[in-house]
Chain A
């Protein structure tokens, strides 16, 4: 049909034709690609494919795999977009036969149709596979991203939680975590379970900061934390830093308080070993409070922590460097005292204090010569409270100054009233050290005497022997000034302290009041067997003390006289005055008035 020359002529023509076909195909594929490819590269790809198209058409026997592969390779080369297939089919169908110089015979057209079918099938299956693969990869990416995000969130939450529940300096748990863990024990533990808390405070830690600096202070806290942490070995136990220099142990599953105290003992001994910081030895002591008890209904974690803190407070008050176990009775007494102390200032403002008076009697004549004024508190909730319930609190809080003034005023007013019935009846009023130290005392005593009209020599101020022991020049000055006003000064509770006899001689005093313990005789059990135990010895001793008072120019009053024998002995020993149940208890003013009318 055709000779060699035809073939070569046809071959050259077909080559040129195919070049034109490839150029047109490449142009049609412009922007039909997924991948950015330059025009040159695009043409290079399709010209190879164009050659394979012709080979596919001419293959004998027909091989659908050839067309199929062309479709696959188009997708692989990046021409996977739908437009790429559409334009490819259009270009091949419209001009491949002509450009390739192939006769448009029905047989060739049929082969072309088959070829296009195979290309479309190959393209579609490759594009489908690619879609599925890409879907897999993007879903994997989304899943991975999601897991990573969750993991990061988890880490961040864990970090945040660690930050929120731990102390950044020492790395120990903080109060939040401590309370939470203890609280969890209370909600999950068996009814029979017990738990302990040991609260620990470094003694005088502020001094470390002051002397060695905050940096060393922080370093010390970190090292203390390290040692305390080493004590905690059981999984449910915990050590925490509550704040500044305060730590706490959670001691789980205790059987008794002793189990919790053991941890405190371990902590004490681990802190006994001195620390070495900044080239110097830093000894450390700690005060600890332990509270332990059953994890029972009605008990709470915060209450247990508070109990341990109260016990810690006791340890501090008892001189530090020790451990105290919480005791609910002591705590109740403490809080009752606290409630009274908090109520005192308002009680003074509302004048809830009243006076009772105990008779003082001349031991020779048996005649009532004076009274001692004693304060009582008409507490709105607790009823009438004796001085022992509130005077010490008032002294500690300083409320005694205001209270003392009210007492003085009332006592002087009452004594002035009694002068008509019994001229010369004196009144004794107790004065606390704080009042003596208060600069306004002399002035207010003078004003009260002026206001009430009581003669100064009928007011006897009783100061405790303790006040004389702690004598300061201010107090001496105040006593002299009071004496200048004409007021009498007597020493109360004589014999309970260790008075400096030189003070007794030097001070402007008017009298001594012998404490009951001195006048009742010595307890026999205390006597040594060698000593002959007779009451004669006691009497000689009393006589000597009373005569010492008289030699110093002081009147001597005996307190706590409970019977006639007692009164007789004191009189025999030379004592001037006496008071006690034998002569009358402390009573309201009107009962004293009745006695004055009865002339007893």
Chain B
């Protein structure tokens, strides 16, 4: 309450959306010219940005597989973006057919698209909410319907926390999210940094200022701080390709160029 719900202005496709640009970098076509214009400028600044995006997405897949192996059967994916083939519910439900997945995104087009894909899936839902409204996410009827908060949850914060500026205290938001979860829940975080490529990634972050969700890149220390209070799973906070690769071939050369710090923590 007190906060405006959707307004048509939100669906203004004259403004680039990082969610849809991300789909473009991955090779998808769920985007509009304004998104592609921004995406191409970012590509000019970071020529291998497509690889960066895919490496980040590979981490998501491996993190979900890892959590499934730990017995996690329900997932809360915040910042889920444009749903593509191989999304969390597909990965999870291939292993656990009734695995529960709640997708949350701030972008109304991404959410509506997700809903179109999920119409026949009784165990997955998509809802539009802002990461900053933790209580609203947790209290949403779809969240309550699908997720049993007495059981461990896999909380996925992949490529989303850097959309929260420091003044909104992202560390506190993340903590409020996982403290609502049962013990033995897991939290996966991936976060953009300019540590390894200050100029190129710095320019990419600057370009994002004109999108609906500008990016705040953070240092390793600041990213590690998101796991304070959690048991950090091996190998800790690392470059995205280095987190539990399934084969050496998945790592590739110069993993630091993938410019995402990733990690998984367990709630004790």
By a beta-carbon cutoff of 8 Å, the part of chain A in contact with chain B is 26-27, 30-31, 33-40, 78, 80-83, 130-135, 137-138, 140-142, 144-146, 148-150, 152-153, 156
A36:B246 contact, CB within 8 angstroms = no
Which residue of chain A has the shortest Cβ distance to B111 in the bound complex? A145
For residue B8, CB closer than 8 A to chain A, the reply is yes
Known: A30-B250, A78-B86. Is A38-B108 also a contact (CB below 8 A)? no
Which residue of chain A has the shortest Cβ distance to B30 in the bound complex? A138
For residue B5, CB closer than 8 A to chain A, the reply is yes
Which of A30, A83, A132 has the most C-beta atoms of chain B within 10 angstroms of its own C-beta? A30
Q: What residues on B are CB-neighbors of A141 within 8 Å?
A: 30, 109-110, 112-113, 116
Stretch at the interface among B21-29, B38-46, B142-150, B184-192: B21-29
B85:A138 contact, CB within 8 angstroms = no
Q: How far is the CB of A206 from chain B (nearest CB, A)?
A: 34
Q: How far is the CB of A245 from chain B (nearest CB, A)?
A: 31
B2-20 contact mask (Cβ, 8 Å, vs A): 1 or 0: 0001111011010000001
Which residue of chain B has the shortest Cβ distance to A83 in the bound complex? B50
Taking A133-B29, A142-B13, A142-B112 as known contacts, 13 extra A-B pairs with beta carbons closer than 8 A to each other, sorted by chain A number, are A27-B249, A31-B55, A31-B252, A34-B26, A38-B247, A40-B247, A83-B50, A134-B29, A137-B113, A138-B20, A141-B30, A142-B11, A148-B108
Which residue of chain B has the shortest Cβ distance to A39 in the bound complex? B247
Known: A39-B250, A149-B108. Is A134-B7 also a contact (CB below 8 A)? no
Which residue of chain A has the shortest Cβ distance to B86 in the bound complex? A35
Known: A33-B54, A35-B86, A39-B249. Is A149-B27 also a contact (CB below 8 A)? no
Q: How far is the CB of B53 from chain A (nearest CB, A)?
A: 9
Q: How far is the CB of A446 from chain B (nearest CB, A)?
A: 71
Could you give 7 example pairs across A and B, Cβ below 8 Å? A31-B51, A31-B55, A36-B58, A36-B60, A138-B29, A138-B30, A156-B5
Q: What residues on B are CB-neighbors of A152 within 8 Å?
A: 5-6
Which residue of chain A has the shortest Cβ distance to B117 in the bound complex? A137
Which residue of chain B has the shortest Cβ distance to A77 in the bound complex? B85
B250:A149 contact, CB within 8 angstroms = no
Q: Which of A82, A140, A144, A153 contacts B8 (CB 8 A)?
A: A153
Alpha-carbon distance A150/B5, docked complex (angstroms)? 11
Alpha-carbon distance A142/B116, docked complex (angstroms)? 11
Q: What residues on B are CB-neighbors of A145 within 8 Å?
A: 6, 11, 108-109, 111-112
Q: What residues on B are CB-neighbors of A134 within 8 Å?
A: 28-30
Q: What residues on B are CB-neighbors of A34 within 8 Å?
A: 26-28, 84-85
9 nearest A-B pairs in the assembled complex, by CB-CB distance: A81-B27, A141-B113, A134-B29, A35-B86, A36-B61, A131-B29, A39-B247, A145-B112, A138-B30
Q: What residues on B are CB-neighbors of A33 within 8 Å?
A: 27, 54
B252:A30 contact, CB within 8 angstroms = yes
Q: Which of A35, A82, A131, A153 contacts B6 (CB 8 A)?
A: A153
Q: Which of B58, B86, B116 contacts A137 (CB 8 A)?
A: B116
For residue B31, CB closer than 8 A to chain A, the reply is yes
Alpha-carbon distance A39/B246, docked complex (angstroms)? 7
Q: What residues on A are CB-neighbors of B112 within 8 Å?
A: 141-142, 144-145, 148
B26:A146 contact, CB within 8 angstroms = no
Q: How far is the CB of B63 from chain A (nearest CB, A)?
A: 11
A38:B250 contact, CB within 8 angstroms = yes
Alpha-carbon distance A27/B54, docked complex (angstroms)? 15
Q: How far is the CB of B257 from chain A (nearest CB, A)?
A: 12
For residue B66, CB closer than 8 A to chain A, the reply is no
Interface residues on B, range: 35 or more
B82:A36 contact, CB within 8 angstroms = no
By a beta-carbon cutoff of 8 Å, the part of chain B in contact with chain A is 5-8, 10-11, 13, 20, 26-32, 50-51, 54-55, 57-58, 60-61, 82, 84-86, 108-113, 116, 246-247, 249-250, 252
Q: Chain A at the B interface: mostly helix, strand, loop or mixed?
A: helix
Q: How far is the CB of B188 from chain A (nearest CB, A)?
A: 14
A137:B30 contact, CB within 8 angstroms = yes
B86:A148 contact, CB within 8 angstroms = no
Q: How far is the CB of B1 from chain A (nearest CB, A)?
A: 12
Q: How far is the CB of B98 from chain A (nearest CB, A)?
A: 22
B86:A140 contact, CB within 8 angstroms = no
Alpha-carbon distance A78/B86, docked complex (angstroms)? 9
Q: What residues on A are CB-neighbors of B54 within 8 Å?
A: 31, 33, 36
Alpha-carbon distance A251/B201, docked complex (angstroms)? 71
Q: How far is the CB of B59 from chain A (nearest CB, A)?
A: 9
Q: What residues on A are CB-neighbors of B249 within 8 Å?
A: 26-27, 30, 39
Q: How far is the CB of B183 from chain A (nearest CB, A)?
A: 29
Which of B20, B26, B51, B82 has the most C-beta atoms of chain A within 10 angstroms of its own C-beta? B26
Q: How far is the CB of A197 from chain B (nearest CB, A)?
A: 38
Alpha-carbon distance A30/B57, docked complex (angstroms)? 13
Which residue of chain A has the shortest Cβ distance to B114 in the bound complex? A141
Which residue of chain B has the shortest Cβ distance to A82 in the bound complex? B27
Known: A36-B58, A38-B250. Is A146-B29 also a contact (CB below 8 A)? no
Which residue of chain B has the shortest Cβ distance to A84 in the bound complex? B27
Alpha-carbon distance A83/B49, docked complex (angstroms)? 13
Q: What residues on A are CB-neighbors of B20 within 8 Å?
A: 138
Known: A38-B246, A81-B50. Is A135-B29 also a contact (CB below 8 A)? yes
Alpha-carbon distance A156/B5, docked complex (angstroms)? 9
Alpha-carbon distance A552/B219, docked complex (angstroms)? 114
B85:A146 contact, CB within 8 angstroms = no
B10:A138 contact, CB within 8 angstroms = no
A149:B116 contact, CB within 8 angstroms = no
Q: What residues on B are CB-neighbors of A82 within 8 Å?
A: 27
Which residue of chain B has the shortest Cβ distance to A141 in the bound complex? B113
Q: What residues on A are CB-neighbors of B58 within 8 Å?
A: 31, 36
Q: How far is the CB of A140 from chain B (nearest CB, A)?
A: 7
Which of A36, A37, A144, A149 has the most C-beta atoms of chain B within 10 angstroms of its own C-beta? A36
Q: What residues on A are CB-neighbors of B57 within 8 Å?
A: 36
Which residue of chain A has the shortest Cβ distance to B26 in the bound complex? A34
Alpha-carbon distance A34/B86, docked complex (angstroms)? 9
Which residue of chain B has the shortest Cβ distance to A150 in the bound complex? B8
A130:B29 contact, CB within 8 angstroms = yes
Alpha-carbon distance A20/B109, docked complex (angstroms)? 44
Q: What residues on A are CB-neighbors of B61 within 8 Å?
A: 36, 38
Known: A30-B250, A39-B246, A141-B113. Is A149-B6 also a contact (CB below 8 A)? yes
B32:A138 contact, CB within 8 angstroms = yes
Alpha-carbon distance A491/B131, docked complex (angstroms)? 89
Q: What residues on B are CB-neighbors of A26 within 8 Å?
A: 249
B86:A36 contact, CB within 8 angstroms = yes
Q: What residues on B are CB-neighbors of A133 within 8 Å?
A: 29
Q: What residues on B are CB-neighbors of A40 within 8 Å?
A: 246-247
Which residue of chain B has the shortest Cβ distance to A34 in the bound complex? B27
Alpha-carbon distance A141/B5, docked complex (angstroms)? 18
Q: What residues on A are CB-neighbors of B55 within 8 Å?
A: 31
Which of A31, A81, A133, A142 has the most C-beta atoms of chain B within 10 angstroms of its own C-beta? A31
